[in-house]
Amino acid sequence: MTSELFKPNAYLTPSTEEEVSELLKRHGDKAKIIAGGTGIYEVAHRGLLSDVQVLIDISQLGLEYVKLSSDGSGASLVIGSCATMSELLGSKELSSKQELGALIDALRIIHPTQVKNVATIGGAICTALPFFDLPVALLCLNAGVVVSPSGDLRALSDFIQGYFSVNLGAGEFVREVVLRLSEGENTASSFKKFALTGDDWALVNSGACIALDESGKKIHRATISIGGGVGEKPVLAKKTSTSILGIEFSDEVKLKALIDSEMEKDIEPVTDIRASAEYRLKIAKVICRRAVLEACERASGERNN
């Protein structure tokens, strides 16, 4: 049951992106985009949509696609904002790329299946909760967000601004998510999560995308993301990512020492009723290391998705 305060008086189903934009401009803060509806439920259930009077359903715009695309700067995986988590997980375009292993990992552990069958990638991003899994996996993959109607491409790291806050102007909404794919590198990624139960939001979660050098032993490039109770938005652990460059991933002692040392500089965990900041920091170091190691093993061919 949603909050008694959430009682929209209009449900609109525009058929073009231009119509959506005009409706958003007309109704302003009193309008909310809906596609799968699970994000709306999560927020409304907590009484945070009392001002919303109009729901704008974008499920008729044909944004359910998952496709590979190429341009002058290389290949990309392009995901329409209305693609459900189940559709994305079942797509051959995703499963064929070990570089996108973090996204596959995150999709596999999202429960229950009923939610995964209707929840959309656009909703997971725009709800902008740091405890969600999909944004953290996408963040380590340097995802970009294409905004309609302008077609602007915005980095996910800048797009998510805080609790329920994203970088969208008047009349704008998310059209698709773009993941640039590397060429000629031994690249793979992994996602790890720690929660109190299998269905719970993350206390801490982490994604790691790793490119190995030509020897297949040393870390050439690293992008690490951390989410959960580490602030108002998921973060890129830039100092930790930089510290492990040039390290042989088989040297787990050195890898652990570097991650433990630098993670404290990258995140500021919070204390709440679910866990203390100190506990979250310890967990972050462990799951980050596990994500990095698994990504390295996948990139070297020692482990498959």
Closest CA to 299 of 181, 216, 177: 216
Looking at domain 186-300, its CATH superfamily turns out to be CO dehydrogenase flavoprotein, C-terminal domain (3.30.390.50)
Q: In this model, does residue 27 exceed pLDDT 90?
A: yes
Q: In this model, does residue 117 exceed pLDDT 80?
A: yes
Q: In this model, does residue 1 exceed pLDDT 60?
A: no
Domain boundaries, given as residue ranges, for the chain: 10-57, 66-180, 186-300
Q: In this model, does residue 39 exceed pLDDT 90?
A: no
Domains 10-57 and 186-300 share a fold: no
Q: In this model, does residue 8 exceed pLDDT 50?
A: yes
Q: In this model, does residue 145 exceed pLDDT 80?
A: yes
Span 228-239, pLDDT tens digits: 989 889 999 999
The predicted model gives 43-63 an average pLDDT of 82
Architecture of domain 66-180: 2-Layer Sandwich (3.30)
Cβ atoms of 143 and 179 closer than 8 Å: yes
What confidence score (pLDDT) does residue 124 get?
Answer: 93
Q: For the chain, give the mean pLDDT.
A: 91
What confidence score (pLDDT) does residue 48 get?
Answer: 62
Which amino acid, 119? A
Least confident among 31-40, 108-117, 133-142, 163-172: 31-40
- End-to-end Cα distance, the chain: 38
Q: In this model, does residue 160 exceed pLDDT 70?
A: yes
Specify the residue for token string 């596999």. Answer: 108
pTM of the model: 0.93
Tell me yes or no: is domain 10-57 CATH 1.20.1740: no
